[in-house]
């Protein structure tokens, strides 16, 4: 039996597990917000609950990744993350609007495990396929993120509208548990770090040091963190921009969907070709093109043209995800890959939350069109800073 023959069912099983987990995660922001609004009528509480779910990952990402690199039962850890999300959903349905404080604690608790769904799963990919199959595997992995981003909010909104928000939260629990079961059927992880004598804190420091001191990783990570973080501003800007164009605020969902469709098309069609010697260049170019096309959004005066440019921006931005995956794999030793992956993912999630908070101030102060322009400009800035950060520092004279 050839290696490719073995890798194909492994990859299919992985795509099923990761897709279920990521769809469930993408439903959280919509379903939980609707549940909190339904029970409390407080946008502030709804936003605070989502922030409680996302911010803890900034701290937990590096530690979880370092731990994953050291344990052979990685499947069980990832599966446990889905179980935790399911239990949290049950707790939220029972406590939101009825018991104070507890919903925030539950959201923060499951938020600690949030990097497992993104970087944790992605760190499995190099262990499931041979090196020559990694470009295709990375493209499929990136596609699961796009599928989650498209299907998750749509499922949450549809179920909440047809039934009620609590039913949408229960559906998250079902999908998370299904993803956990599929994860347990993935093949065992091999090649974990055997250095168990080094403290976890020292391992975390080694991974962060590698991330900071490796030019390609440093530049690409900085670009994605600033770029993705600034997109958080759009969470507030797009609904009000749709209102300016004479549409209901909910039409902002179509813009997000248009972007994700563009991303998915780019990943499916071109993702497997991100295998050159410098994938970090693709990260920078993709982010810059995304920002340049976003500059057109405030200029056009119709929803149709806005959606068209959103698809185009998604096509440009779509290759950044498989490219950052390839950059991590190319420039990170196997013993640190999970940590580097979860650290990058947690930084993106955390900065998106901060971007959304900044948007809550910027949009009322400057207007949605200006906020979108600022977001586009930050994409260009992220690309420029990524280039500068990715330049290898020259050593001082006389240093060997």
**pLDDT range class, residue 136, cuts 50, 70, 90:** confident
pLDDT at res. 394: 41
Residue of 331, 349, 351, 342 whose CA lies nearest to 283 = 331
pLDDT at res. 342: 81
| Dihedral sign (CA 19, 24, 29, 34) | positive
* 69-128: pLDDT as tens digits: 777 788 899 999 999 999 999 999 999 999 989 999 999 999 888 888 888 888 888 888
| Statement: residue 7 has pLDDT above 80 | no
| Statement: residue 198 has pLDDT above 90 | no
pLDDT averaged over every residue in the chain: 85
| Statement: residue 190 has pLDDT above 80 | no
Residue for token digits 């030019």? 215
* 146-181: pLDDT as tens digits: 899 888 888 888 888 889 989 999 999 999 999 999
| Statement: residue 38 has pLDDT above 90 | no
CB-based contacts of 2, cutoff 8 Å, min separation 6:
none
Residue 182 burial (CB count, 10 A): 20
**pLDDT range class, residue 3, cuts 50, 70, 90:** very low
CB contact at 8 A, 375 and 230: yes
Considering the domain 200-391, what is its CATH architecture? Up-down Bundle (1.20)
* 342-380: pLDDT as tens digits: 888 888 888 888 888 788 788 888 999 999 999 999 999
CB contact at 8 A, 386 and 284: yes
Residue 275 burial (CB count, 10 A): 18
Reported as type and span, the H/E element at residue 71 is none
Residue 367 φ/ψ, nearest 5 degrees: 95, 155
Q: Running DSSP on this structure, what letter comes out for residue 392?
A: P
Q: From its phi and psi, is residue 68 left (phi > 0), alpha (psi between -120 and 50) or beta?
A: alpha
**pLDDT range class, residue 5, cuts 50, 70, 90:** very low
**pLDDT range class, residue 197, cuts 50, 70, 90:** low
- Average pLDDT of 276-282? 84
Domain spans, the chain: 1-189, 200-391
pLDDT at res. 192: 56
| Statement: residue 283 has pLDDT above 90 | yes
pLDDT at res. 209: 87
Reported as type and span, the H/E element at residue 13 is helix 3-40
* 217-269: pLDDT as tens digits: 999 999 999 999 999 888 878 888 988 999 887 678 788 889 989 998 998 88
Least confident of 163-172, 199-208, 387-396: 387-396
CB contact at 8 A, 176 and 89: yes
Residue for token digits 């900085």? 222
Chain centre distance of CA 369: 25
Dig out the tokens for 199 from the structure: 């403290």
pLDDT at res. 199: 66
**Rounded Cα distance, 28 and 233, in Å:** 18
| Statement: residue 195 has pLDDT above 70 | no
**Rounded Cα distance, 230 and 317, in Å:** 14
Higher pLDDT, residue 39 or 196: 39
Rounded to the nearest 5 percent, the helix, strand and coil shares of the chain are 80, 0, 20
Contacts for 173-176 with beta carbons within 8 Å, 24 or more apart?
173/85, 173/86, 173/87, 173/89, 173/90, 174/86, 175/20, 175/21, 175/23, 175/24, 175/27, 176/20, 176/21, 176/24, 176/82, 176/83, 176/85, 176/86, 176/89
Residue 355 burial (CB count, 10 A): 24
pLDDT at res. 2: 44
CATH dotted code for 1-189: 1.20.1250.20
* 46-61: pLDDT as tens digits: 777 877 888 888 888 8
Angle CA 199–203–206, to nearest 5: 140
CB-based contacts of 144, cutoff 8 Å, min separation 6:
15, 18, 19, 22
Whether 200-391 and 1-189 are alike in CATH topology: the answer is yes
Residue for token digits 């440009």? 316
Residue for token digits 């093109």? 289
């Amino acid at each position: 039996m050839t290696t490719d023959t073995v890798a194909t069912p492994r990859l299919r099983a992985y795509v099923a597990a990761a897709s279920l987990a990521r769809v469930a995660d993408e439903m959280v922001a919509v379903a939980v917000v609707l549940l909190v609004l339904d029970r409390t009528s407080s946008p502030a509480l709804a936003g605070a609950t989502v922030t409680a779910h996302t911010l803890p990952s900034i701290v937990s990402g590096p530690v979880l990744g370092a731990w994953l690199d050291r344990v052979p039962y990685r499947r069980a850890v990832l599966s446990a993350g889905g179980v935790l999300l399911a239990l949290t959903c049950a707790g939220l349905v029972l406590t939101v609007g009825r018991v104070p404080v507890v919903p925030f604690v539950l959201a923060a608790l499951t938020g600690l495990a949030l990097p497992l769904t993104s970087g944790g799963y992605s760190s499995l990919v190099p262990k499931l396929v041979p090196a020559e199959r990694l470009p295709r595997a990375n493209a499929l992995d990136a596609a699961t993120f796009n599928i989650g981003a498209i299907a998750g909010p749509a499922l949450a909104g549809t179920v909440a509208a047809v039934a009620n928000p609590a039913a949408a939260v229960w559906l998250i629990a079902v999908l998370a548990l299904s993803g956990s079961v599929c994860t347990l059927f993935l093949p065992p992880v091999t090649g974990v770090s055997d250095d168990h004598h080094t403290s976890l804190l020292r391992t975390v420091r080694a991974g962060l040091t590698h991330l900071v001191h490796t030019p390609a990783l440093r530049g690409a990570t900085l670009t994605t963190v600033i770029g993705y973080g600034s997109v958080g501003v759009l969470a507030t800007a797009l609904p009000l921009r749709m209102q300016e164009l004479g549409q209901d605020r909910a039409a902002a969902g179509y813009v997000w969907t248009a972007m994700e469709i563009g991303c998915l098309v780019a990943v499916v069609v071109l993702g497997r070709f991100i295998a050159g010697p410098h994938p970090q260049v693709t990260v920078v170019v993709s982010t810059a093109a995304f920002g340049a096309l976003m500059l057109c959004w405030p200029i056009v005066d119709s929803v149709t043209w806005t959606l068209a440019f959103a698809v185009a921006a998604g096509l440009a931005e779509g290759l950044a995800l498989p490219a950052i995956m390839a950059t991590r794999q190319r420039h990170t030793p196997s013993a640190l890959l999970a940590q580097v992956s979860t650290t990058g993912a947690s930084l993106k999630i955390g900065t998106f939350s901060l971007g959304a908070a900044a948007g809550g101030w910027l949009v009322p102060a400057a207007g949605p069109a200006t906020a979108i322009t600022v977001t586009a400009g930050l994409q260009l800035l992220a690309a420029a800073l990524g280039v500068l950060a990715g330049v290898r520092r020259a050593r001082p004279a006389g240093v060997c």
